[in-house]
Structure 1
């Protein structure tokens, strides 16, 4: 049966080559699977390097997609809540970092920074994370 072209309603989610929602869903499924594989590779790398255990990665794409299909509104609210928590944590880290920068600048100006690293050494250490 013939299908009409997808229109502006789905604009952020479709490509011009998509002929149906099934095409867009197939692309989304591929993207989710690629993201899952990247998370798995990153988790393994972090564990091997730092012995840090991250949240377990799902073994199959269906483990990610099925909860979204079953209850999309609940998943949207959970993801939104998680995003708000992350943004709040980043704001706290940003304020703390600014406080430390002010204190470091004050120490630098007073000449009492013999035991502290300079900005280049600090940036070098942070590049490993």
Structure 2
């Protein structure tokens, strides 16, 4: 008989359902900060069209997909480390690093898009 632990049936501080809840409770913060960053740079452009708005929607969906990687990284790490690692403190670091990275990518892509589409100020 193997000694496998059920990743979903641990004490509340280490359960994956608790981890999932932790990440989902903070998703709105991520969306507001990244969305505000994108809106700030979008309004710096002199004009934008419906194609730009479609790009913003697609980018928002992709940003949320990448946000989900925080939880997935935790799942994979727990599997390979056999539940012996506690991610309670690491979640905050991963969230903060991911948020800063997303803001920088958003600012860079919005600026590049504005310059490439002729939106550079005179």
Same fold by TM-score, threshold 0.5 exceeded?
Answer: no
Question: Which structure's relative contact order is higher, taking Cα pairs within 8 Å and 6+ residues apart?
Answer: 2
Between Structure 1 and Structure 2, whose CA radius of gyration is higher?
1
TM-score normalised by L of structure 2? 0.30
Give the TM-score normalised by structure 1. 0.29
